[in-house]
Amino acid sequence: MKIIDYKDVLPRELTAATMHGVTGRVLIGKADGADHFCMRMIEVAPGGVIPRHKHPWEHQQFFHSGQGRLLRDGDWVDVGPGSVAYIPPDAEHSIENTGGEPLLLICLVPDFAPEL
């Protein structure tokens, strides 16, 4: 069993060609014996962007704090504390922080997806 404060996990800067202001933490993963999923905390800084992308695995997201928007089916949907999203395999999506504080979200992915 593992019980931690998420802040005890060091954040890792996530980079891609057009990604900026994004860090991630693996909260529960393979190193913990989690054989079927990975729980990640993603932080998008004010003005930060996770660019449009897609991948062959589903994932679920729970927005903990901050304000932003999520690209779904070509349209932007506002998200904030308490928002929940299911993103099916191969669905194009993007996240932008539209507020003045970090946008924090929990993201669950299956075991075959990259942990970060």
What pLDDT tens digit does each residue of the chain (116 aa) get?
Answer: 999 999 999 999 998 778 889 999 999 999 999 999 999 999 999 999 999 999 999 999 999 999 999 999 899 999 999 999 999 999 999 999 999 999 999 999 999 999 99
CA dist., res. 116 & res. 108, Å (int): 11
Looking at 3.30.365.10, 3.40.50.880, 2.60.120.10, 2.40.430.10, the CATH number of the domain 9-110 comes to 2.60.120.10
| 72-79, Cβ contacts within 8 angstroms, sequence gap of 24 or more | 79/103
Q: Where are the domains of the chain?
A: 9-110
CA dist., res. 48 & res. 43, Å (int): 9
